[in-house]
Amino acid sequence: MTDKIFRDYTQEELDLQYTNLVTDHDRETQQDLQARSGAFAEARRDENDLTYGEDADNRFDLYRAGDGPKPAIIFTHGGQWQRGNAAVSVAWAEAALKHGVSFVAGTFPTIPRVRLPEMVDHVTALVRHVRANAADYDIDPTRICIAGHSSGAHLAAAALVRLANEDDLDGIVCGLTVSGNYDLRPLMLSYRREYLELSEDETTALSPLLMLDKKLPPTMVAHGGDESDEFKRQAANFHAALAKQTETGLYAVPNANHFAVFAGLEDPDSPVWAFLNKYL
C-alpha cells in the first residue's frame, strides 16, 4: 500500500497536483499566452527595461494609460520562481489600458541565483520604487494594485502581507492574485522542495496565508475552473482567510487551466475587472 503524505495524496499524486504542464492542452495554452503576450509587448510597450534597483534583473516594462496621474497595476509574472520575464503573460495589460489603468510588468532575480526570501524582497522593492517615483511614470501613487500570477501570485501576496504588517500600505488600494499558492507547507512535501530549499521557519514566514497579522486591502483571488484540486483549495483557503479581515472575491474562470485563466483578466467586462474598478 502506497503511503499518503498529505491529505489523501501519495507522493506521486501530490507532485502531480502541483505540476502545471501535464497535457498537450496545457502546453498549447501556455504557448498561446506567451505568443499573444509577446506580440502585445512589442506593439504597445511604452518604456522597457526601466530599473528599480541595482540587480541586473531589477527591471520593469511600463504601459501608460495616458498622460497625467493614472491608477496602476504592478504585476508579477509566474514561472515556478525559476524563470519568466516581464512579457511572458502581459496580454491582459490591454484590458487595463481600456479601463484607463497603467500597467507595470516587473522582473526580478529568480532561483537558483537568489532564494525565495530575497525574491520577496525584490518584488516589495519594485512596489516601493514605483510608488515613490510615480510622478515620473504618470502614475497616481494613491491608486495602486499589486497583482501576480502563479508563483508571481505568491510573490504579490507575500509583498502585500509584508507591506501590511510593516504599516506601509499607503496608496495600495487593492490586490489581485491569480492561480497562486499561499500556504507553502504542502509544496515542501512535493517535488518543489528540491529547489525551494526552505527551512520550516522560512516556509511559515513565506506563506501569506499564515502571516495575515494585519488587514490587507481589498483583494480578488482568482483561479482556473479546470486547475488541480490543490490550486483550487489554495485559492479557497486564502479567500476564506481574507474574508475575515477585508473585502475579497473568489472567481473561478470557467473551463480554464493554469494558463487559460488569463481569459478572466483579458476580458474587460469580467468579474475581475468589476472588482478592481471599485478601488482603482
pLDDT in tens, 90-115: 999 999 999 999 999 999 999 999 99
Cell of 169: 500600505
46-70: buried (b, 16+ CB within 10 Å) or exposed (e) per residue? eeeebebeebeebbbbbbbbeeebb
The alpha carbon of 114 is separated from its chain's Cα centroid by a whole number of angstroms, namely 18
In a domain? residue 4: no
In a domain? residue 141: yes
Q: What Cα–Cα distance (Å) separates residue 244 from each residue in 151, 214, 215?
A: 24, 11, 9
Structural domain containing residue 180? 11-16+25-277
Mean residue pLDDT of the chain comes to 97
Q: pLDDT over 90 for what percent of the chain?
A: 98
Note the pLDDT tens digit of each residue in 145-189: 999 999 999 999 999 999 999 999 999 999 999 999 999 999 999
Q: pLDDT over 70 for what percent of the chain?
A: 100
Please state the domain count of the chain. Answer: 1
The CATH number covering residue 36 comes to: 3.40.50.1820
Asked whether the predicted pLDDT for residue 1 surpasses 70, the reply is no
Asked whether the predicted pLDDT for residue 12 surpasses 90, the reply is yes
Choose among 155, 16, 19: nearest CA to 77: 155
In a domain? residue 3: no
Confidence at 221, pLDDT banded by 50, 70, 90: very high
In a domain? residue 264: yes
Tell me the C-alpha distance between 163 and 131, whole Å.
12
Q: Are 77 and 153 in contact (CB under 8 A)?
A: no
In a domain? residue 201: yes
- Tell me the three state secondary structure of residue 8: coil
- Flag whether the pTM goes above 0.85: yes
In a domain? residue 6: no
